[in-house]
Each structure stands twice: as structure tokens, then as C-alpha cells.
Amino acid sequence: MCSSTDRCIVDTLFCQLVPDMTETKTVIAVSHLQKQVLAAAANKDKETLSILSDINLTIVAGTSVAITGASGSGKSTLLGLLAGLDLPSAGQIALFGQDLTQLSEDQRAALRLGKVGFVFQSFHLLEHLTALENVLLPLELGRNSGDLKQAALAALEQVGLSSRAQQLVTKLSGGEQQRVALARAFVTQPQLLFADEPTGNLDRHTGQEVSALLFRLQRDYQTTLVLVTHDESLAAQCDYWYRLAEGRLQRQEQSA
Amino acid sequence: MSIYWQQWVRRWRLPEMRLLFLALWISALAVAAVGFFTDRVESAMERQASQVLGGDLVVSSARPLPDDYRQLAAQLGANMAEVISFRSMLSYGETTQLVQVKAVSSNYPLVGELQGAKDLTAGGVSLKGQLPASGQVWAEPRLFHSLQAPVNATVVLGNSQFALTTVVTKDPSQGVNFFQLAPQVIIPLADLPATGLLSPASRAEFSLLFTGSDRVIRALKAELETKLTPTERIRSLQEGAQNVQQALQRAGRFLGLAALLSVVLAGAAIVLTSASLVRHETRTVAVLKAFGLARRRILVDYLGNLWLLALIAGVLGAIVGFFLQALLAQWLVQVVAIELPAASWTSAWVSLVTALVMVTGFALPALLRLLDTSPMQILQGSSPTQKTLANLLILSILPAIFVLLWIQARELGLAAWVFFGLLAAIALFWWITKLVLNGLARLSTRPAWQWLALLRQSRRSLLLVVVFAMGLFTLLLLTALRTDLINRWQASVPTDAPNYFLINIQANDQAKLEQFLQQNQLQTNLYPMIRGRLVEINQQPVSPEDYPKAEAKRMLEREFNLSSFAAFPETNTLLAGKWFDAQTQGFSIEQGIGETLGFKLGDSLTFDIAGQRFTEKITSVREVRWDSMQPNFFVIAAPGLLLDKPYTLITSLHIPANKPELIPQMIRQFPSITAIDTSAVLGQVRSLVEQATLAVQGVFTFTLVTGLLVLWSALQAQKPERQRELAILKSLGASSKLLRQRIWLEFALLGGLAGALAGGLTILAANLLGYYMFDLAVSFNPWFMLLGALVGAVLVASAAWLNLRSLLGVAPMVLLKA
């Protein structure tokens, strides 16, 4: 079903690379992934809409991968599938070597616990909690022991918000909220971080600050980063860059 | 019009709009159902009470009543009966007996029916539509006994001879003054002049009894009140027979209170839903304003939509409420076997008005707030300002709540009490909950208390806890009052309540009578009764002419029954001063008589007793429960006093149904004793209690359902936020087991907290209300806090689980579609 020769070559290349990397370093391996959804049509009937068709992708530990594409191209859907938030219609996704399609929702959640962090476009902080309490949340969910408060404060320190730890997040600016989200994402020192348009709701200047912070933390913790964005300058800072168009991935050569 | 309709239909798709509709519908439904039902039970109770009174309205006087009154009643379309009642001697052969003659017009009784028999041994049957024919007299069984006369004996009253044809076992209006000593006889009013017994100087009571629709009775009462002379008095159901009045009042107040609280509960649901509607509509309004639509136009548009919503909710609520009420009444009637009159349509209007007031009062501030937010502010993504909320709360929500309370209570004072009580309760709940939740959140950052971490989000649930607490408070308060009220009512007419009064017991028979009673295992106290006329207050002579009020005049005209004993009467309450001990002298008075005749604690009273004057100071004031079926006294002297004066004794006792021979035996042994059978009155009171209990339980059921529905709306309002939260937790790796545990634990803790608060307030409020409104003894019951916490935890956690269960299936993908 290849519509473009280039894309087929890229996919084939990656498929061949997979065996070398599975041994130690592969974090995510995707083969022949498809996703269709039922969409409400104008005449009230539902019709099947194909969002992703035949995606193949391997992501190696410690690297940063950007996925760009136009609005509605299925970037976020792909991100959700990679994180195990949803299941594909066909194909396989291996996360940390485990086939997600064989796991129940709880088993997928357990796989994420403490190992996967998220940064969302609309921050998705818990509104009635303080900055500190939001950062504490993943630590407490993981039944970690030790001084969790200290760990959370340290994470806030790293994003430069330790002085606002006791503020309710609704009192913080958009940029500050996204920094709290970054602290929440990194506080468990996850192996893998998914970021969905992390600068999408921020002005240019704040967006640059937040993205700089994101890459710094990613490098410091050697975290694998999967970043979905339509901001090409952000994508250009990643080790790998893919474009998603018409349901297929295409490798974009990095200029750097 | 069609554009508005289209908009309405479009807005109807909003979940908040449907929720608002649900809340309005539930309120209207609750108000209608409670209203219809209360209305029916109230009129059943009024019917019962009017039987005792003899009509819906009674005018009586010591002089013949003017013909104006009869004409007025005829003009207004009221039914009327006439009764003239006086004492006279009746003779049978050589025997004479003092009797209470009741001369009645042909349509007596207006309410209820006489029961009787042609034979002393037969039970009474209905005598509906029958009255003594000319030349006949009907009488109570005790007259036949005291005269030892057979049925159809010829007796003489004044100048006339009568045939004693029928034994009257029940006269519905006898409850008015069942303490009357002389047996009652009934003769036709038309036969009265011929007896020559009624001269201008004779002491008689002339009464006109009226029945009719509420409107007619109100009009008649208003007219009559302008014409009454000081010697005439008017009695309606509200100020009717004393022995049923208290029970009726308490039941009415309780029903009013229950309905009030259901309205408040439903109001909480509307507030919650309106707030969430505003959150949802902010963006739309911003866009409309950005496109240049005027504020006024947007307001009219939204308000029109909401009114239509309220109208539909109100009508549907009234209809469903009517059927619900009918079902409940039918079921309860089967259980208790009481006939309920048809409901009036007032409650349907009330439910409609309630829905409109609610949507206006509670949604308007939210709408105004919505309109105040600038389009820029919204497009920048910041949340709408809350600054104006306080003003709007005062300007709109609070008045709306007050109006609703007023509509329900139909009594300004009660509405005000409940309103300010509620405000205080909400403030108290808010403050304590905030304190507790913040404290717990702070504690949860310590390593050992991490399990409390999930309560941190509960700060958002401050409102929820307050609403839960109010709901639980309502339920607990009604439970407390209901239990207390029912217990109290039942205690006031226990199955072994005295059903006989013994009067005229001679002092020298006392020892022997006590022995007789003891032998027959009858326990009772004999109270001395001394008759005296009040002649001086604080050494100043008093006479009936000094008092404008007919009641005061009557009291001074006749002799008081005084007593003297040591033990404080069980059914009385001491209001002021000190009860007698070994040293004290003086009088203990009943509160009401002091108010009527104008004397108080510390004043001195002088009575003329058999020609001798006797003066003492008032040393205590008592409240007397006249429905206690015990001998009660307006004035009691310190023990030992007065016993040198001529006195008889009085007592009340319960004669078991299986020992009817005891009374005749006693009378044979002590011929001077008069025994008065009060079981008919007791039966009336008991049936009234049954009705009141039924009403209370019925209304309680409705309030319980309303409470649960509000709990549900409160949960529903939080649902979108909860859904997002669960999705976030899932994306962070929380398992569904953990999420389940969180829901149960969080809501059990919140419910427990709300319940404990509610329980605490219940203890306070039940005691206050019991004391001030329902005339119940104060009893502190600490179990309510535990009960509240337990009920709250189980109820709230279960409801939350049922409501939020479906959210556990939420795909965390929703987070990526923001």
C-alpha cells in the first residue's frame, strides 16, 4: 500500500534496523500499526475513518524523536498509541519490550507507572492542588518510599519554581503551569517522556523557555523523548524527526 | 419565536442544561408531591379537629346571638347549626340528677356523627341523620346508670316531659369540654322554649356552628370578628379544642419544616448545576460578544431559555408529583386505614412558581457574571472573575432562597428562622470543612500520613461536603424530630392512658377508695380539689368587669379548682420559680392563666373559699399539657395548705377493657363518686396521633428521596472534572483498582466528615427546635454524630461509586484531544 517510494524505503530501512536494537536499547518498536475510528458523519451515520495506516517505527533509549504534521494528521493519536493510552486497530507496539496489544488496560498502566512521564498541551494539572502536590502525585501513585516531599521540591527547584511550591496551580501563569507539568513528568526520573505540543498553549518567548528546559532535563536524565508538535523549530532540536501525513510516517533529515 | 425555539433545542444538547432541567424537575416534583400530600393529610387532620370543635368555626356567647350572624352565614353560603347548652336538674320519679342540657337544631352535628343505641347493653351504631324527635331526649349511658332508669323512661325537664329514648355513646363535639361533671342530654332546640328553663337570667352557652369552604369560612370569620361583642367569642380550627390543638400544631409545623428543607436541598442542586452551566457557556458568550451581540440581548436570550426550561420542569414536576403522592397516599392508607380527602391544586401552582423562582434566583447571578466577563479575558484562557459573586449572592440567591422558604412555610417567622439558621449552618460547615481538609492536606505530606494524599483534591469538594452535610443534616434532623415527635405523641396517649376520671371523691372515703384501688391493682394518685373564687390580686380586688377579654371574664365568674400536693406533676414543665419543698408556702400557677388575668411570679393571690379568704404568693409558674389525660390544675397550693377547707378528691385511672365491672362495683361501694368515661376523647386523640404519624413518615420519605437526588446532582456536577482527573491518573500509571480505592476512600472520608458535622448540628438543632417549636423535652443524643458519620460515609461513598463507576472506563486518550 505504498503510495510514495521514499516512504517505503524509509520504513524498510527501519525495519531492518530493528533486530540490532532490540537487545538492549529499544524502548518502542512499532510494526504495521493501523488505527481506524468511527466518526459521526453529517447524515448521523457513523463512518470509518482511517487515521494511521501501516506505521513502522523504532525508538532507541536516550534519543529524542519529534513527530510533526498538520492539524488532524493523527499525531496525538499516534502518541497515545505509543504510550498505551489506546489500542491500535491492527499491528504491534512493543513498549519496553512488552507487546501492548496483549496487555489489559491495567497492565499497560502498570507498565507506565514510574517509567513514563507526560507533558500535555493543556498542562492537565490537578486544579485544586498546589504545585508541590501536583508534583508529588506520580511519586505517591508509585508507592515510593523515602522523603517524597523532598524529591518533589527538588524537581520544582530544577524548573525554577521552588518558591511557588505552595501556590495553587490555578494561580500560576501558563508558562509556570507547564514548568510544574515538567517537574511532575521528571520527578520519577522516567525512562520515557511523551510530550504533546508542550509549547502549543504558550507564547513564543515562554515556549522557548519551556522547550529549553525540556531538552535540558531530557539530556540530564538521559530520558527518551517522544515529542509531538507542529513547531518545526522544536522538532529540529530532536535527534530524529518524522512527518506524519496521510496516515504515514516520513523521516525528515535533520539539518544539524 | 422559531429562532428562540431553535436555540433552546440547541442548548438542550448541553449536559448542564439537561442537568439543570433535572434539578428543577426534581425540586418541582418534591415540592408538588410534599405539597399535595401535606395538604391532604392536613385537611384530614383538620376534619378530625373540626369534629371535636363541632364545625370549622364556632361563635358562642352567654347571651343569645343576634340574627345578623345567621343571615350573614346564609348570605355567604356557610352551613350552620345552633346549640344552646346549660345545666339543669332532670328528674325521674323521685330521683333527680344535674344534667348538661344541649338543645340542638335539626342539622346537628355539622361534622362527624352521633353514635348510640336503643339499649344499654348494645354497642353504639351510627345515628347519622337522626336526632331526638319532639318530646324525646337522648342521654349518655351514665345518666341511665345514675337514675337507674330504663330506656324509654319518662323524665321531666322544667315544665316538659320527655321520653328517654336513646343511649348516646359518642358525640363528636364532646371533646371540647370532656371535664364536664354532669351527664349530657340532647333535646330538640324547638322543644326548649316549652320547658321554661331558659330565662334571661339563666346561665347558658349559645353557640352557632359553621362549616363551609375555606374561602367562605375565612370571609365569615373576618366579618364576624368585626361584629363580636366582648361577651362573644369565636373559635376556629387554629384556636380550637385544646386537647387536639397541640398535636395538630406540632404535626403542621413538622410538615412545614420538612417541606422547607426539601426546597433548600433542591436549591443546592440548582446552584451547583448553574455554576457548571456558566463554566460551560463562558466560551460561547465570549464568541457572541466578540461578534457584537449586546449584553442585554444575550441576557434576554438565556433567561428566556431558562424560563421555558423551568416552566416545562414545573408542569412536569407537578404532574409526576401528583401521581407519586397519590401512590404513596394509597399505600399508606392501606397500612393505617385512614381516609384522606382529595388534594387541592394549590400545590401545582406552588411547584410552578418554585421552579421559576429557583431558575431566576439561582441562574441570574451566574448569567450576569457570565456577561461581565470580557471576551478578551476568555480568549486568553483565564478563568472568569469571581469578584462579583458576593454581591450577586446577596442580591439574588439569598432573596430567592428566602422567597422559596416563605412560599413553603406560609409563615414569615418560621421562614426567617429557618433562613438564618441555614445561613449559620452553611457558614459553620464551610469553615469547619475548610479547616479540616486543609489540615489533612498539610498532614499528608508527612511520610506516615501519605495515605491521606488523596484528600488533597478534596479541597475542591468543599462545596460538595457542605452540600452533603446540609443534606445529611436535613435527614438526621427529620429522623431525630420524627422519632422524638412520634415517641412523644405516643407517650402522650399510651395504651394504658387514663380512660376514666373519678371526681367527687369524699375526703372520708379516701382511705377506703385507695384500698379498693390497690386490691384491683389500679395505680393512681388522688388529688384534693378545693373550689375557690379569685377575689384579689396583690390585695387589689378584681372583678370580671375589669377585663375586656371574654375568657378572663369567664374565669373570674366561675370558681377555680385549687389543689394542694407535694409531688411535681409529671406532665407539667416548670417555667419559673421553684416547686414546693418542705419549707415553702405559696401557689404554683399555670402560665396561661397568669397571662390572661395579669399576674406573675411573686404576686399574691387571694381566693374566697367557702366564705373564708386565703392569700398566698406565687412561687412558681408551670406549663401544663392539657392533653395529658391527667387531672391538671390552674393553681396548686403548697402541700398541706387548704386541707383544712372543705375538699373532695379527683383522680384519673386506666380501666382495662377486660374489667368493665370495676366502675359499677366502685360506684356501688362509693355512691358519691362520679366516674367520667374519657375513652371516646382518647380515641379521637389517638386517631389524630396516627394521622400525624402517617403524615410525618410520608413527608420524611419524600425528603429522603430529595436528599438522595441532590447528592446525585452534586456528584453529576463534578463529573467532567473527575473524568479528567481519572484520565490524568491513568496516564501516570494508576491501575483501575487503585482508582476504585481512591473513589471509595475519598468519598467515604468526605461523607463521614459531612455526616459527623451534620450529626453535631442535628444534636444542637433538634434540641433547640424540640424545645422552642415542638414543646419536647431537651435530650442530648451524642449518637447522632456517630450515626451521621456512618450513614454519611456509606451513603456518599455508595452514591459516588454508582455515579462515577462509568468514568473508570475513560480512555486516557481524552487528554490528548484538548
What pLDDT, in 10s, does the model give residues B495-522? 677 778 787 788 888 888 889 888 888 8
d(C-alpha B438, C-alpha B751), whole Å: 16
**With an 8 Å Cβ cutoff, are A80 and B457 in contact?**
no
**With an 8 Å Cβ cutoff, are A111 and B733 in contact?**
yes
Helices (H), B228-241: none
Task: For residue A120, give the C-alpha cell.
Answer: 500535555
pLDDT of residue A62: 92
Residue of B770 and B300 predicted with greater confidence: B300
Quote the mean pLDDT of chain B.
79
How close is the nearest chain B Cα to the Cα of A10, in Å?
27
pLDDT greater than 90 at residue A25: no
The pLDDT of B612-638, averaged and rounded, is 83
pLDDT greater than 80 at residue B25: yes
Percent of chain B with pLDDT over 70: 80
- In B, minimum Cα distance to A149 occurs at B445
How close is the nearest chain A Cα to the Cα of B816, in Å?
6
- In A, minimum Cα distance to B730 occurs at A109
Choice among B20-34, B232-246, B313-327, B706-720 with the minimum mean pLDDT: B232-246
The pLDDT of B570-575, averaged and rounded, is 83
With both helix axes pointing from N to C terminus, report the angle between B398-409 and B346-372 in degrees, rounded to the nearest 10.
Answer: 180
**With an 8 Å Cβ cutoff, are B728 and A124 in contact?**
yes
pLDDT class of A12 with cuts at 50, 70, 90:
very low
Q: Which residue, among B604, B814, B665, has the nearest Cα to B728 in the 3D structure? A: B814
Cross-strand partners of B161: B156
How close is the nearest chain B Cα to the Cα of A109, in Å?
4
**Residues of chain B contacting A105 with CB distance shorter than 8 Å:** 730, 736
pLDDT greater than 80 at residue B240: no
pLDDT of residue B647: 83
Pairing of strands A224-228, A64-69: parallel
The pLDDT of B709-722, averaged and rounded, is 76
**With an 8 Å Cβ cutoff, are B447 and A114 in contact?**
no
Which member of B445, B460, B734 has the closest CB to residue A149?
B445
pLDDT of residue B572: 83
**Residues of chain B contacting A140 with CB distance shorter than 8 Å:** 450, 453
pLDDT greater than 90 at residue A177: yes
Residue type, B429: F
pLDDT class of A21 with cuts at 50, 70, 90:
very low
Give the tens place of pLDDT for each residue, B444-464: 877 777 777 777 777 667 777
pLDDT greater than 90 at residue A212: yes
**Residues of chain B contacting A128 with CB distance shorter than 8 Å:** 456-457, 459-460
Q: Which residue, among B235, B255, B239, has the nearest Cα to B691 in the 3D structure? A: B255
Q: Which residue, among B142, B138, B89, has the nearest Cα to B109 in the 3D structure? A: B138
**Alpha-carbon dihedral B49, B51, B57, B62, rounded to 10 degrees:** -110
**Residues of chain B contacting A149 with CB distance shorter than 8 Å:** 445
| Residue A66, Ramachandran bin (φ over 0: left; ψ between -120 and 50: alpha; else beta) | beta
Residue of B650 and A45 predicted with greater confidence: B650
pLDDT class of B690 with cuts at 50, 70, 90:
low
**Alpha-carbon dihedral A86, A87, A89, A93, rounded to 10 degrees:** 120
pLDDT greater than 60 at residue A16: no
pLDDT of residue A190: 92
**Alpha-carbon dihedral B280, B281, B284, B289, rounded to 10 degrees:** -140
The pLDDT of B224-237, averaged and rounded, is 77
Give the tens place of pLDDT for each residue, B144-191: 887 888 889 999 988 899 999 998 877 776 543 434 557 889 999 999
pLDDT of residue B365: 73
**Residues of chain B contacting A132 with CB distance shorter than 8 Å:** 445
pLDDT greater than 80 at residue B84: yes
In A126-167 the beta strands, taken as DSSP E runs, fall at none
Q: Kindly list the residues of chain B whose beta carbon comes within 8 Å of any beta carbon in chain A.
A: 381, 383, 441, 445, 447, 450, 453, 456-457, 459-460, 721, 724-725, 728-738, 811-813, 815-818
Q: Kindly list the residues of chain A whose beta carbon comes within 8 Å of any beta carbon in chain B.
A: 76-77, 79-80, 83, 85-86, 105-106, 109-116, 118, 120-122, 124, 126-129, 132-133, 136-138, 140-142, 145-149, 170, 174, 196, 201
**Residues of chain A contacting B455 with CB distance shorter than 8 Å:** none
**Residues of chain B contacting A201 with CB distance shorter than 8 Å:** 381
pLDDT of residue B717: 72
- In B, minimum Cα distance to A152 occurs at B445
**Residues of chain A contacting B817 with CB distance shorter than 8 Å:** 76
Residue type, B637: A
pLDDT of residue A223: 94
d(C-alpha B128, C-alpha B308), whole Å: 52
Percent of chain B with pLDDT over 90: 8
How close is the nearest chain B Cα to the Cα of A16, in Å?
31
pLDDT of residue B179: 42
How close is the nearest chain A Cα to the Cα of B726, in Å?
10
Indicate the helix (H) or strand (E) that contains A36. Answer: strand A26-40
d(C-alpha A34, C-alpha A51), whole Å: 8
pLDDT of residue A241: 94
| Residue A136, Ramachandran bin (φ over 0: left; ψ between -120 and 50: alpha; else beta) | alpha
pLDDT greater than 90 at residue B655: no
How close is the nearest chain B Cα to the Cα of A36, in Å?
14
**Residues of chain A contacting B737 with CB distance shorter than 8 Å:** 106
pLDDT greater than 90 at residue A27: yes
**With an 8 Å Cβ cutoff, are B815 and A77 in contact?**
no
CB B408 within 8 A of CB B264: no
**With an 8 Å Cβ cutoff, are A128 and B460 in contact?**
yes
- In A, minimum Cα distance to B458 occurs at A128
Backbone angles phi, psi at A26, to 5 degrees: -70, 130
Close Cβ partners of B564 (under 8 Å, ≥ 6 residues apart): B528, B530, B636, B637, B638, B639, B640, B641, B642, B643
Best B731, B739, B746 member to test A by mutation, with max A CBs in 10 Å, is B731
**With an 8 Å Cβ cutoff, are B811 and A85 in contact?**
yes
d(C-alpha B155, C-alpha B162), whole Å: 5
Choice among B29-43, B87-101, B308-322, B559-573 with the minimum mean pLDDT: B29-43
| Residue A103, Ramachandran bin (φ over 0: left; ψ between -120 and 50: alpha; else beta) | beta
pLDDT class of B255 with cuts at 50, 70, 90:
low
Omega before B64 within 30 of 0, i.e. cis: no
Give the tens place of pLDDT for each residue, B206-216: 899 998 887 88
pLDDT of residue B13: 75
Residue of A42 and A201 predicted with greater confidence: A201
Task: For residue B11, give the C-alpha cell.
Answer: 442548548
Task: For residue B213, give the C-alpha cell.
Answer: 369552604
Choice among A71-85, B486-500, B561-575, B737-751 with the minimum mean pLDDT: B486-500
Cross-strand partners of B589: B621, B635
Indicate the helix (H) or strand (E) that contains B6. Answer: helix B2-12
The dihedral sign for the CA sequence B447, B451, B456, B457: positive
pLDDT of residue B491: 62
How close is the nearest chain A Cα to the Cα of B457, in Å?
6
CB A17 within 8 A of CB A24: no
d(C-alpha B624, C-alpha A229), whole Å: 84
pLDDT of residue B128: 82
Choice among A222-226, B129-133, B231-235, B764-768 with the minimum mean pLDDT: B231-235
pLDDT greater than 60 at residue B73: yes
Which member of A116, A128, A196 has the closest CB to residue B733?
A116
How close is the nearest chain B Cα to the Cα of A182, in Å?
13
| Residue A227, Ramachandran bin (φ over 0: left; ψ between -120 and 50: alpha; else beta) | beta
pLDDT of residue A1: 37
How close is the nearest chain A Cα to the Cα of B461, in Å?
9
**With an 8 Å Cβ cutoff, are A132 and B381 in contact?**
no
**Residues of chain B contacting A129 with CB distance shorter than 8 Å:** 456-457, 459
pLDDT greater than 70 at residue B390: no
d(C-alpha B716, C-alpha B714), whole Å: 5
**With an 8 Å Cβ cutoff, are B731 and A85 in contact?**
yes
Quick one: how far is CA B244 from the chain centroid?
Answer: 12
Let me know if B782 is exposed, middle or buried by CB neighbors in 10 A (0-12, 13-18, 19+).
Answer: exposed
The pLDDT of A163-185, averaged and rounded, is 91
CB A36 within 8 A of CB A89: yes
**With an 8 Å Cβ cutoff, are A112 and B731 in contact?**
yes
**With an 8 Å Cβ cutoff, are B728 and A109 in contact?**
no
Which member of A126, A141, A201 has the closest CB to residue B734?
A141
**With an 8 Å Cβ cutoff, are A124 and B733 in contact?**
no
pLDDT of residue B178: 38
Quick one: how far is CA A136 from the chain centroid?
Answer: 20
**With an 8 Å Cβ cutoff, are A140 and B724 in contact?**
no
The pLDDT of B740-747, averaged and rounded, is 89
CA distances from B217 to A119, B40, B71, B84 (A): 75, 18, 14, 22
**With an 8 Å Cβ cutoff, are A141 and B817 in contact?**
no
The pLDDT of B491-498, averaged and rounded, is 67
pLDDT class of B687 with cuts at 50, 70, 90:
low
Residue of B661 and B429 predicted with greater confidence: B429
pLDDT greater than 70 at residue B691: no
Q: Which residue, among B481, B502, B690, B491, has the nearest Cα to B571 in the 3D structure? A: B491
Task: For residue B567, give the C-alpha cell.
Answer: 409531688
How close is the nearest chain A Cα to the Cα of B472, in Å?
25
Domains of chain B, by residue range, sit at 2-46+246-492+685-817, 82-200, 523-653
State the CB neighbour count (10 A cutoff) for residue B698: 24
How close is the nearest chain A Cα to the Cα of B741, in Å?
12
pLDDT class of A8 with cuts at 50, 70, 90:
very low
**Residues of chain A contacting B380 with CB distance shorter than 8 Å:** none
